[in-house]
Amino acid sequence: MNKIAFEELYIQHLPGLFRLAQSILRQPADAEDAVQQAVLQAWQQIDTIQYGKEKAYLARIVINECHNIQRLRQRIVPVTVFPDQAEPETKIMELRGAMERLPEKLRLPFLLVYMEGYSSQEAASVIGITLFALKSRLKRAKKSLRIELREEGES
């Protein structure tokens, strides 16, 4: 892969990589750090990136960097709404809250497949699990979300 192709790839996938990092770390500044470190690593290994697997390669590096940041820093409780921001719709907040309460092993597959548009095979590869395990986690994540959202609706 040449430098121009890498730059185009980076620009194309940057928003998704940032959302992925933010879903794991929950802090925009930490997510930016993780994405920057991942891109730097990928840039240094530009010759090893296989054609057609770039998206999964970058996502795997971002996930690894997020885990490195988590190990180095204690988790900080995120502020969900800043005073100067407009309040999002209630349903979106309920869904976001329910997704954040999912354990990471369920949240990450859900995010990759349903929010970022990865194929099941790509997501399984990125996470490092079998396709069967990914589908099982997606099913459990959806079931948990349905139950939790139904309980919130009844409250």
- Based on the fold, state whether residues 60 and 8 are members of the same structural domain: yes
For residue 145, the enclosing domain spans 88-155
pLDDT in tens, 22-67: 988 888 888 999 999 998 888 888 888 888 888 888 999 999 999 8
DSSP-assigned letter for residue 102? S
pLDDT in tens, 66-124: 988 888 775 445 555 555 554 556 777 888 888 888 998 999 999 899 888 889 999 99
Identify which of 69, 77, 64, 75 has the alpha carbon closest to the alpha carbon of residue 30: 69
- Based on the fold, state whether residues 12 and 64 are members of the same structural domain: yes
CB 108 within 8 A of CB 134: no
More confident position, 7 or 133: 133
Q: List for the chain the helix, strand, coil content (%; round to 5).
A: 75, 0, 25
pTM higher than 0.95 for the full model?
no
Q: Do the domain assignments include residue 97?
A: yes
